[in-house]
């Protein structure tokens, strides 16, 4: 029995050493190279791009399409239900073992969570007439898109120059989106009374 356990522990030690070598090799050759880092960054931000796109689309439709806004305002029960369901879905993703261990189930619950979260953001934007969620989502989406595009070039985004370019792009996105949304709000404030007068 002791001999068997010694053999097992020895093999276990060898396997651990092999795993360490494979991991170190992966870090040095793949992640350690600029090409590998670009691939990792591109993959991560492409995964982040999809939920940001869904959030931005829902919020923009709710704010800029009158029919969608009216529909959300006419159905407050759906907004309330979405708000209640959101933490429950989050709880499932974090604590439910069947969801955590099954990749298809995890992706399904995650997709439903993102859509539910997008609807909650859209409903809050319409009910409280706020552009904060839309602006935040759009700025992050633009920055995320820029990072994905830059990761396809030869630029190493993990260097000081790469970080500076990303940061500068993010600031520009913020200024442009803030200016555009402010102009849209001012335009609504000016034209809304005139439209009411014309209709009366």
Q: Measuring CA to CA, how many Å separate 159 from each of 39, 155, 156, 170?
A: 15, 9, 6, 17
Q: Is the pLDDT of residue 114 over 80?
A: yes
Q: Name which of 114, 118, 166, 111 is nearest 142 in CA terms.
A: 166
pLDDT tens-place string over residues 130-146 = 888 999 999 999 999 99
CA distance 138 to 120: 16
pLDDT tens-place string over residues 60-111 = 999 999 999 999 999 999 999 999 999 999 998 888 888 888 888 999 999 9
Instruction: Give the E-state strand segments of the chain in sequence order.
Output: none
Q: Name which of 191, 193, 185, 177 is nearest 63 in CA terms.
A: 185
pLDDT confidence band for 191 (50 / 70 / 90): confident
Residue 8: per-residue pLDDT = 47
pLDDT confidence band for 40 (50 / 70 / 90): confident
HSE value, Cβ hemisphere, 13 Å, CA-based, for 182? 6
pLDDT confidence band for 37 (50 / 70 / 90): confident
Give the residue with greater pLDDT, 70 vs 194: 70
CA distance 152 to 10: 45
For the entire predicted model, the pTM comes to 0.73
Calculate mean pLDDT across residues 110-121: 95
């Amino acid at each position: 029995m002791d001999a068997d356990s010694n053999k097992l522990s020895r093999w276990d030690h060898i396997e651990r050493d092999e795993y360490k070598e494979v991991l170190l090799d992966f870090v040095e050759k793949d992640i350690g190279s600029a090409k590998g880092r670009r691939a990792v960054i591109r993959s991560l931000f492409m995964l982040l791009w999809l939920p940001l796109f869904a959030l931005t689309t829902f919020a923009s439709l709710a704010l800029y399409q009158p029919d969608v806004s009216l529909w959300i305002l006419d159905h407050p029960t759906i907004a309330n239900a979405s708000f209640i369901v959101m933490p429950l879905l989050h709880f499932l993703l974090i604590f439910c073992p069947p969801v955590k261990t099954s990749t298809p189930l995890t992706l399904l619950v995650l997709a439903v969570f993102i859509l539910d979260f997008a609807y909650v953001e859209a409903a809050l934007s319409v009910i409280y007439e706020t552009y904060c969620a839309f602006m935040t989502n759009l700025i992050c989406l633009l920055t995320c898109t820029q990072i994905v595009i830059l990761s396809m070039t030869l630029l190493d985004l993990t260097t000081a120059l790469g970080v500076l370019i990303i940061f500068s792009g993010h600031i520009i996105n913020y200024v442009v989106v803030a200016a555009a949304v402010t102009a849209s709000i001012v335009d609504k404030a000016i034209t809304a009374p005139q439209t009411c007068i014309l209709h009366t």
